[in-house]
Amino acid sequence: MHTVFYVSDGTAITAEVFGHAVLSQFPLPFEQFSVPFVEDKEKALAVRERINHSFHQSGKQPLVFHTIVDDKVRHIITDSDAMCYDFLNTFVAPIEQQLGVKAEPRTHRTHGMDNRQHYDARIDAVNYALDNDDGVNTKEYDEADIILVGVSRCGKTPTSLYLALQFGIRVANYPFIDQDMKHLTLPPMLKANRHKLFGLTIDANRLQEIRQRRRADSRYADPEQCRYELNQIERLFRMEAIPFIDTTFHSVEEISVKILERAGIRRRIF
Amino acid sequence: MHTVFYVSDGTAITAEVFGHAVLSQFPLPFEQFSVPFVEDKEKALAVRERINHSFHQSGKQPLVFHTIVDDKVRHIITDSDAMCYDFLNTFVAPIEQQLGVKAEPRTHRTHGMDNRQHYDARIDAVNYALDNDDGVNTKEYDEADIILVGVSRCGKTPTSLYLALQFGIRVANYPFIDQDMKHLTLPPMLKANRHKLFGLTIDANRLQEIRQRRRADSRYADPEQCRYELNQIERLFRMEAIPFIDTTFHSVEEISVKILERAGIRRRIF
């Protein structure tokens, strides 16, 4: 199995995300290691040692995906016996040519804390999501960008948190529970914010699996109960013309981006 | 100002993160738009129209960073008048050459839900972080990978959630509050899990700013109170040899990655 090293002078998150995307196109397993904060020559020399040792051990040439600004530090890494792919600079030269502007390399570019306002917006959004999770507080819905509604455990909380952390979006969420089901209607504070509502639904078997893990062999996790709740909630979504998404086969990222697209909310990039 | 389009057949998150990293090296402002789910020719034609219109309006050639698997769909985009940068395939050919294996392109590679186990691990980690947030529950610390400790509002919750969502790490967090300060010691369940403890601290002025926004003009937000709590907590960290990080100038990503590095926990890449 080939070994892959993501080497960065920062968190290596960019290298990981991008590297993962590129490698997922290959029908091979990879052993992957992230090596962040490689900011000086000493660290770079230690990493190069590790890379070369890995080659020696496995007999297979490692891949190194790197995002390093300092030339000297980078050259120590590219001097290793691995095949090195310069994630940072490969696109810089053609962009310099297009824009007629030279790049000014700096560290902590992407996942550092350059912009205090952006950072606060994300933290505020996370606090908002937590303060308005699970219907515990219904008085701050004016401040919401989106309000997610659905049955218990269909994915509302992870989605709210992801939207907050990744995009700084303020998302409240409200659960419809067993007692609501017989006469399912939108309560006043949701009606008042109708245009912000987004429904989540899920496959009944999947819901049953998830609930069984939370509260084994309860009424809550009963297959009939799950089907009943989902039928009722989907009826409500249709009657009230609330756009909704089935979360069953989608990741948190996909659900989040679909919601933003439907709501017409432009995502901030942090 | 140049306009940048991140065009993808998926969520466009990979293109955004990577594009942002590359562009942050340029001392220029950019107007950035994400265009996800461009999966067929109709959508691609509409996007191309939008790109060309943008060029026409601004007079400045847009940049397009794209991650599209289907050749026909991709060619419609690269046929636009923008300068197009193929984020997905630029590295594929050299990697094919190194590995002697052809790529097998597929959509929903990176932020889709291919691997149910990975996905569940993240959702479970988020649930764990929420169930064990703010010291509300101290009985599940056996299951924690990490336990964050610190004063109120120093960054514990956002960090736990980020570690859960991004890396599937199980992080509990425990606050030391005003009443604890006079005789500050580690309670039994933290002592029992000493090796998992990580401290967060923060600059006193920054803490005061944050607390003032939460509870204006309270004792909680008083500058003296903030300085006192931080002094006490840092003494505890030193006395108990708990590794700690100052969160003041670091993003959630940086704090999270530093914690994983110090704890020697290998990050899973999702």
> Cβ neighbours of residue A212 under 8 Å, at least 6 residues apart?
A221
- Inform me whether the pLDDT recorded for B18 exceeds 80: yes
Average pLDDT over residues B32-57: 96
The closest CB to that of B130, out of A22, A157, A267, belongs to: A157
Residue B254, chain A, CB below 8 Å: the answer is: yes
Same domain, B66 and B136: no
User: Domain holding A192: CATH number?
Assistant: 3.40.50.300
Residue B26, chain A, CB below 8 Å: the answer is: yes
pLDDT for position B265: 87
> Cβ neighbours of residue B148 under 8 Å, at least 6 residues apart?
B156, B159, B160, B171, B172, B173, B174, B198, B199, B200, B259
Q: How far is CA B109 from CA A260, B8, B118, B215, B217, in A?
A: 20, 11, 13, 44, 50
For chain B, the distance separating the N- and C-terminal CA atoms, rounded to the nearest angstrom, is 34
Residue B206, chain A, CB below 8 Å: the answer is: no
The count of domains in chain B is 2
Among residues B135, B145, B143, the alpha carbon closest in space to that of B177 is found at B135
pLDDT for position B155: 93
pLDDT for position B65: 97
Residue A18, chain B, CB below 8 Å: the answer is: yes
Same domain, A26 and A160: no
Residue A267, chain B, CB below 8 Å: the answer is: yes
The closest CB to that of A16, out of B108, B258, B269, belongs to: B269
Q: Do B98 and A32 touch (CB under 8 A)?
A: no
Q: Residues of A annotated as binding site for ADP?
A: 150-157
pLDDT for position B34: 94
Same domain, A121 and A223: yes
> By percentage, how much of chain B surpasses pLDDT 90?
83
Same domain, B162 and B206: yes
| Amino acid at position B156, single letter | K
> What are the DSSP E strand ranges found in B22-155?
30-35, 63-67, 83-86, 146-151
Same domain, B87 and B177: no
Report whether B3 belongs to an annotated binding site: no
Q: CB of B159 within 8 A of CB of B255? A: yes
Report whether B100 belongs to an annotated binding site: no
Angle at the Cα of A77 from the Cα atoms of A75 and A81, rounded to 5 degrees? 115
Among residues B256, B245, B249, B266, the alpha carbon closest in space to that of B165 is found at B256
User: Domain holding A81: CATH number?
Assistant: 3.40.50
CA B189 to CA A189: how far, in whole Å?
Answer: 41
Q: CB of A54 within 8 A of CB of A62? A: yes
Q: Annotate B156-191 with DSSP letters as a single string.
A: HHHHHHHHHHHH---EEEEEE-GGGGGG----HHHH
pLDDT, tens only, A50-109: 999 999 999 999 999 999 999 999 999 999 999 999 998 899 999 999 999 999 887 766
Report yes or no on B172 lying in a domain: yes
Q: Do B88 and A162 touch (CB under 8 A)?
A: no
Among residues B71, B83, B72, B113, the alpha carbon closest in space to that of B19 is found at B83
Report yes or no on B105 lying in a domain: no
Find, in chain B, the residue whose alpha carbon is nearest to that of A103.
B26
pLDDT, tens only, B82-132: 999 999 889 999 999 999 999 988 776 667 766 666 677 889 999 999 999
How many other C-beta atoms can be found within 10 angstroms of the C-beta atom of residue A210?
19
Report yes or no on B254 lying in a domain: yes
CA A31 to CA A5: how far, in whole Å?
Answer: 9
Residue B101, chain A, CB below 8 Å: the answer is: yes
Q: Do A25 and B111 touch (CB under 8 A)?
A: no
* Mutation to test the A interface, candidates B58, B253, B262, B268, most A Cβ within 10 Å: B253
Find, in chain A, the residue whose alpha carbon is nearest to that of B129.
A158
CA B84 to CA B193: how far, in whole Å?
Answer: 52
Find, in chain B, the residue whose alpha carbon is nearest to that of A256.
B11
Residue A88, chain B, CB below 8 Å: the answer is: yes
CA B236 to CA B243: how far, in whole Å?
Answer: 11
Q: How far is B152 from chain A (nearest CA, A)?
A: 13
Same domain, A95 and A13: yes
Token digits for A248? 């069953």
- pLDDT tens-place values along chain A, 270 residues long: 999 999 999 999 989 988 988 998 999 999 999 999 999 999 999 999 999 999 999 999 999 999 999 999 999 999 999 999 999 889 999 999 999 999 988 776 667 766 666 677 889 999 999 999 999 999 999 999 999 999 999 999 999 999 999 999 999 999 999 999 999 999 999 999 999 999 999 999 999 999 998 899 999 999 999 999 999 999 999 999 999 999 998 989 999 999 999 988 887 665
From B41, B74, B99, the end of a domain falls on B99
Q: How far is B11 from chain A (nearest CA, A)?
A: 6
Half-sphere exposure of B136 (CA within 13 A, CB side): 8
Report yes or no on B269 lying in a domain: no
Q: Do A112 and B267 touch (CB under 8 A)?
A: no
How many Cβ contacts (< 8 angstroms) between chains A and B?
201
- Please give the residue range of the domain that contains residue A234: 116-263
Report yes or no on B110 lying in a domain: no
Q: What is the CA radius of gyration of chain A?
A: 24
Same domain, A94 and A120: no
3-state helix, strand, coil in chain B (%, to 5): 50, 15, 35
Half-sphere exposure of A13 (CA within 13 A, CB side): 26
Q: Residues of A annotated as binding site?
A: 150-157
Report yes or no on B107 lying in a domain: no
Same domain, A84 and A124: no
From B54, B70, B99, the end of a domain falls on B99
Same domain, A140 and A192: yes
The closest CB to that of A99, out of B16, B26, B252, belongs to: B26
Predicted ipTM of the assembly: 0.86
Same domain, B134 and B249: yes
Report yes or no on A270 lying in a domain: no
DSSP three-state, residue A72: helix
CA B101 to CA B109: how far, in whole Å?
Answer: 18
Report yes or no on A152 lying in a domain: yes
Q: How far is A166 from chain B (nearest CA, A)?
A: 9
Same domain, A155 and A76: no
Same domain, B139 and B241: yes
Residue A116, chain B, CB below 8 Å: the answer is: no
In A, which residues are within 8 Å of B69 by CB distance?
25
Bridge partners of B2, per DSSP, are B30
> Cβ neighbours of residue A119 under 8 Å, at least 6 residues apart?
A113, A270, B251
Q: Do A258 and B85 touch (CB under 8 A)?
A: no
pTM of this prediction exceeds 0.90? no
pLDDT for position A35: 96
Half-sphere exposure of B148 (CA within 13 A, CB side): 34
pLDDT, tens only, B186-231: 999 999 999 999 999 999 999 999 999 889 999 999 999 999 999 9
* A residues 122-181 lying closer than 8 A (beta carbon) to B: 122-123, 126-127, 130, 133, 155, 157-158, 161-162, 165-166
From A65, A99, A133, the end of a domain falls on A99
Q: CB of A10 within 8 A of CB of A16? A: no
- Inform me whether the pLDDT recorded for B184 exceeds 80: yes
CA B16 to CA A81: how far, in whole Å?
Answer: 31
* Mutation to test the A interface, candidates B84, B254, B268, most A Cβ within 10 Å: B254
